[in-house]
Amino acid sequence: MIQQGVTEQGAGTAVAQPPPTGREVSTAALVLAVVVGVLSAGLYAVLTARAGDVLHLIDLTAYRIGAQRVLDGVSLYDTPLIGTTKGVFEFVYPPFAALIFLPVALVEGAAFVATGVAVNAAVLVVVVWASLRALGYRAGPRLFGLSLAGAGLLIWVHPIWETFAFGQVNLLLAALVLVDLVAPATARWKGVLVGIAIGIKLTPGFFVVYLLVTRQYRAAATAVGSFVATAALGAIVMPRDSLTFWSGAFLDPARVGVPDHPGNQTLRGMIARLLGMGTAQSVLWLLVAVAVAVAGLWLSRRLTLDGNVFAAVVLCALTATAVSPFSWVHHWVWLGPLLILLLHHALRDRTVTAWAGFVVAALISSHGPLALLAPDYPTLLAIPAWHHLEIGYEHAYIWLTVALLVAAALRLRAVAREP
């Protein structure tokens, strides 16, 4: 793999050097990828057209209502966006996010659906492009073609499928963070996009900690400054809503949902479903979450200093999703970049272990292949409880993240022992 080197610059700051010109995508690989990608995207289009309700875009509809409230001068946080049940369709984002959604308030009907799909498709192409560039592939028309094909395939990653279906914002956040963090640390704008992502949704704030532990202090400060700018803009446009959100609404867990909700694919959700909810369970979750977060950040730092910046960012993202208090399935869109990383290693190393890792991760994260065996269960998460084995497959994303942490630790240990 062509890696981004890391040098020490300034006051102990870890600086990722610009990637080399990189390898060219071969004609055979490009043709194969394009054929498979077109067939994959075409199959998705046919299935969504036949089903009719796949692209329900319920979350994008909620975003549009939030944007309309801004235009009408109505509070974002006093009542749910849809319905009247607290914790269901609440606006849980900072006020700045509502400004990002303002264009959505201007479209309706078929144009609304087309806009939601087109934006997520374009952002997914950016995610694939940034992933491949981070792995050292040369920019150009061939890489763009490969990125289009890759996006057509990654639609079948379940969290990405869900992001398209709900009209969610997670792919945009991933693109902002990924483009920012795989850029050379010498880039003056490094950190700006991470700050904007935090301004839209607070969870990318975990990456500021990553920047700090990798000694990219200027980028961390830039990210914080960028985030503060988004908060200031929100306060200028919506002073009352900003006061409501930053004075405590963002800390209210009831606005998101109960921890044991089946859709909460986090360590907290797993502990709540297995052991119940209470003070002891909350303390246990905090202890486990802190341990996993520390392990993920430490391994991400080691990977970064060894030049594996893309792997570090992906591992950090999956760790952040696992330790978050509440993560819906569609929050796990970083499984897409993970599959790109694992496939790259499998093609490069050509070992049984590398291919097994890719296949297992693909099966865990996929939407569709399992339906060939059981049509009612397109994903592992959809399989009902059976002889207590659900502790494994209903929390597959968590176990996959733990396995990746262990694999990264073993790999780094092996590299350290090499002469």
pLDDT at 369: 65
- Domains of the chain, by residue range, sit at 6-12+22-417
How many angstroms separate the Cα of 297 from the Cα of each of 89, 109, 136? 32, 44, 23
pLDDT at 202: 94
In the chain (419 residues long), the average pLDDT of successive 10-residue segments reads: 40 46 79 88 81 83 92 90 78 93 91 93 97 93 93 94 94 97 90 97 96 96 97 96 89 77 91 91 95 97 95 98 94 97 94 95 83 63 69 87 96 81
Query: Are the beta carbons of 353 and 407 closer than 8 angstroms?
Result: no
The CB-side HSE value for 128 (13 A sphere, CA atoms) comes to 24
User: What is the C-alpha to C-alpha distance for residues 342 and 165, in angstroms, rounded to an integer?
Assistant: 26
Per the DSSP assignment, residues forming a β-bridge with 8 are 14
pLDDT at 132: 96
Per the DSSP assignment, residues forming a β-bridge with 7 are 15
User: What is the C-alpha to C-alpha distance for residues 307 and 59, in angstroms, rounded to an integer?
Assistant: 38
Q: Is 250 exposed, middle or buried (0-12, 13-18, 19+ CB in 10 A)?
A: middle
pLDDT at 362: 93
**Count of beta carbons in the 10 Å neighbourhood of residue 195:** 27
User: What is the C-alpha to C-alpha distance for residues 302 and 309, in angstroms, rounded to an integer?
Assistant: 10
pLDDT at 9: 39
pLDDT at 394: 84
How many angstroms separate the Cα of 329 from the Cα of each of 123, 157, 254? 18, 11, 19
Which of 243, 244, 231, 167 is closest to 200 using CA atoms?
231
Query: Are the beta carbons of 272 and 130 closer than 8 angstroms?
Result: no
DSSP code of residue 331: G
